[in-house]
Structure 1
Amino acid sequence: MAASFDLCVGLGQHCESTYQIRRITGQETAQFFDWLEIDLVCVWQVLESDFRGLLKPGRMALTTDGQGAIDLDAGIEFYHEFHTHPGAELTLADVEEQLTAVREKLEFLADRWRELVASPARVLYVRQDANSVETAADLQRLQATLRERYPGHDFAILWLCRTAPEDRDKLPPGVACREIPLLEGRWQGDDRAWDELFATLPVDELWP
């Protein structure tokens, strides 16, 4: 595994992938999409806009469960960036008060991303489709977006689904699909399943 890529970077959609990537690889350096609840269409938009226009004052709201904040323009849900006093519920006033500091953090991570894609590092991107709504065409568009935005960047994409998608045979070279089942009651996921996944990475599919 260590010989097949230099760095493993998550692209959302679920916090499970961030936890497992860090646990398995030992990587502790934060990346932009870590811990974000983000649909794939929003990943495209963030990349195509070069991370600009995020977290605008007056364009934030609480998530439907009240546990996090959502950027209404970018469609990104933040569950780890905004905080409140112990025992108190998060409010929109809390979010607006902390907006500048969170934006500065994301700008720092965006700069780190730009350094990464300009480096000679071979990167394995992991996209977890926790809701089983994405298609092979969606992953092909993600690959095309990365190639167009960052010519010369050496990368591959591992697409993780709860169940095998019907169109997985339509994936382009450089994108591989594997299954990671939901483990009820544990948001971190199934350690054993993730260990097996990384022990048997389809390197020939990822870097043909």
Structure 2
Amino acid sequence: MCVGLGYHCETTYQLRRITGNGSAHFFDWLDLELESVVEAIADDFAHVLRPGQVEPFSDGLCALDRGSDIRFFHDFRPADGRPLTQDDIDRQLDSVRAKFTALAERWRALAASPAKVLYVHHDAFDESTARDLNRLRQVIATAHPGQRSSLLWLRRTPPADPALLSTGITWGTVAESPGRWEGDDAQWDEAFSAVPLSRGPRP
């Protein structure tokens, strides 16, 4: 099983294309930094989408959850194509919360299962260090001590400190594809060519 951990929609699109598995996971189609992923897992998603914390952001292009610093571009929608408003968010918050409560339950069920999981974090702006990824892996291991998992760190350029990565973390690179939010298919295929766990039947 292959599960994406952000940074944004490129990850979700590519993992579904590569694995042929369209099952939804908690961090799919979200826009968020690594710290938001770490905090959400460490807190068992308790601080995500709390009432009174979600507001329009980026001139109404998305909703920002101030409690988690996650940006929701696809789950809150204005009725007529105008910029997203606070009223839009307030009307839809319960249904969006219900969706992510169900996805959190799916996350926990997978973590408690015997399945081996490859977590993939796309460091789309080369912001993180090996120590940051080590912390992410430790948080996952602490939250789900019985789970068999590994972590793939994908960057635009090679990391400066790969020797510091903990056991169970590998890295690769996927170049940006200008003008294509989905990313470069060939680059992602190459990055996953040595990761047999990620591959599944193509649609």
Matches within 5 A, 1:28-107: 28-107=22-101
Q: Whole-Å Cα distance in 2 between the matches of residues 169 and 65 of structure 1? A: 42
TM-score by length of 1: 0.91
Q: CA RMSD in A?
A: 1.4
Tell me the secondary structure at the aligned position of residue 36 of structure 1. coil
Q: Which runs of 5+ in 1 are unaligned?
A: 1-6, 204-208
Select which of 170, 183, 191 maps to 1:189.
Answer: 183
Q: Whole-Å Cα distance in 1 between the matches of residues 153 and 196 of structure 2? A: 12
- Worse-matched range after superposition: 190-199 or 83-92: 83-92
**Identity over the aligned pairs, expressed in percent?**
46
* 2:139 corresponds to: 145
Offset from partner CA, 1:78-110 (integer Å, 9 cap, x none):
011111234322112111110000000000000
CA contact (8 A) 1:176 1:202 kept: no
* 1:4 corresponds to: none
Q: Which runs of 5+ in 2 are unaligned?
A: 198-203
1:65 CA displacement: 4.5
TM-score by length of 2: 0.93
Tell me the secondary structure at the aligned position of residue 151 of structure 1. coil
* 2:19 corresponds to: 25
Give the letter aligned to residue 113 of structure 1.
Answer: W
Select which of 167, 172, 175 maps to 1:178.
Answer: 172
Offset from partner CA, 1:180-205 (integer Å, 9 cap, x none):
111000000001111122223388xx
Report the count of equivalent residues: 197
The runs of at least 4 consecutive aligned structure 1 residues that moved more than 3 Å come to: none
Q: Whole-Å Cα distance in 2 between the matches of residues 145 and 112 of structure 1? A: 18
Question: Residues 31 and 133 from structure 1, CA distance in 2 versus in 1: closer, same or farther, beyond 3 angstroms?
Answer: same
